[in-house]
Copies of this chain bind each other. A is one copy, B any other.
């Protein structure tokens, strides 16, 4: 056995976890989201830059404003999921950097004074954090339904300012009836890994 992670945890996070397309009515509480965040915040980012921001869409009015920008095939599930989260990269993350990297506060100006550099760093590192978040949702016994099928500019205009870029929208809840399609194939190790 090459993995030391308990097989039950392997199943919970990867093998049996699936992207859900339907959900039960059971609410997802702020306490659950806080527990997820307080676990996955420890996932590593470059310079500890931690650029992920999360917008929870809880109000009926907010949900309506969101759903109209989703691709048609994503509208029904985004309307009925117990909770929907916008996962967002903060392109001004460097403002928090002196607090996040107290032994090297010069990093803010030395590396991140230029906006295009920040945008590239935020896109990569917030995407890593988005993956940690999806794993965290599963760690809470919930199913995640990450989506990128939407009018990004429309959602950004509706919910964000010009310093924040939408990475994905994630439906969250307990899986409902016929929640997923059959498992799709994956590339084999030899198709993905080469050695030099």
Contact = CB atoms under 8 A, between A and B. Distances in A.
Interface of A: 1-6, 8-10, 12-15, 17, 19, 29-44, 46, 48, 50, 52-59, 62, 96, 99-103, 121, 123-124, 127-132, 134-135, 138-141, 144, 146-148, 159, 167-168, 181, 183-187, 189, 191-196
24 contacts: A3-B36, A3-B139, A4-B12, A5-B139, A14-B42, A37-B192, A37-B193, A38-B189, A41-B192, A42-B186, A44-B134, A44-B144, A52-B192, A53-B193, A54-B194, A56-B193, A56-B194, A99-B185, A100-B187, A123-B127, A124-B148, A124-B167, A127-B127, A129-B131
A167 B120 CA distance: 11
Residue of A8, A39, A56, A59 most packed against chain B (CB within 10 A): A39
Given A10-B139, A101-B184, A184-B48, A189 B56 contact: no
Contacts of A42: 14-15, 17, 183, 186
A42 to B, nearest CB: 4
A55 B149 CA distance: 30
Given A127-B127, A128-B127, A56 B99 contact: no
A76 to B, nearest CB: 18
Nearest to A158: B196
